[in-house]
Chains A and B, each alone.
Chain A
């Protein structure tokens, strides 16, 4: 069965960096675009970034553009989110999610990980 497991969430000081990982299993990782979606505690959902199945295309929300970088290693079935210049507004649960269609970006998120919490605090 499809499984997505995030890791790397932590408490970090403002201005510092953090890298999140999402390890996939149960499907052909290299055939699907992957997304990061975040949710502040008690708040709604915010799409963060997407990377195409082969890593050739990446798109970001304006709120993270220039600070966050999405990447993937298809040989390791792993998705990453490098987060730099973190601020209090980045304190959220980060989910990785699989795109619903193979070999394209359809932006319907059919499988989600359990989430990893990032807390930015001094």
Chain B
């Protein structure tokens, strides 16, 4: 199975900050990498697919980059509604696996 490792596991940031979350795959997955946002008690929401494509309706302050084994999710200017947990997920091969999550908290 492909292991996905996110860092950091949690972070504290202020509104307006630039936030970067990293995801590393245990083997090359090309650009088969997706990012999700999950708020407490809610289902995950797809933000970025294929490493860098913005899902319809997602604000442009979210962006993704990377290929191979190393990927990043960047929030250019953190907004109050962005405080949540973020997960990466590889869609390269079954079983499709998720990172452990990164919780973004208010500083």
Contact residues of A with B, CB < 8 Å? 37, 44-47, 50, 59, 61-62, 95, 100, 106-110, 112-115
Contacts and interface: CB of A to CB of B under 8 A. Distances in A.
Would you call the interface of chain A mostly helix, strand, loop, or mixed?
Answer: strand
Interface stretch (B12-20, B71-79, B97-105): B97-105
A47 B98 contact: yes
Contacts of A37: 44
- Chain B's interface size range is 20 to 34
B84 to A, nearest CB: 13
A60 B12 CA distance: 36
A110 B55 contact: yes
Contact of B49 (A95, A100, A115): A100
A110 B101 CA distance: 18
A115 B55 contact: no
Question: Which of A47, A109, A110 has its CB near the most chain B CB atoms (within 10 A)?
Answer: A109
B45 A46 contact: no
Interface of B: 32, 34, 36, 42-46, 49-50, 55, 87, 89, 91, 94-101
Given A107-B91, A108-B46, A114-B42, 14 more contacts: A44-B99, A44-B101, A45-B36, A45-B44, A45-B89, A45-B98, A47-B96, A61-B95, A95-B44, A108-B50, A109-B36, A109-B46, A110-B46, A112-B44
Nearest to A45: B98
A112 B45 contact: yes
Contacts of A115: 43
Q: By CB atoms of chain A within 10 A, which of B43, B45, B89, B98 has the most? A: B43
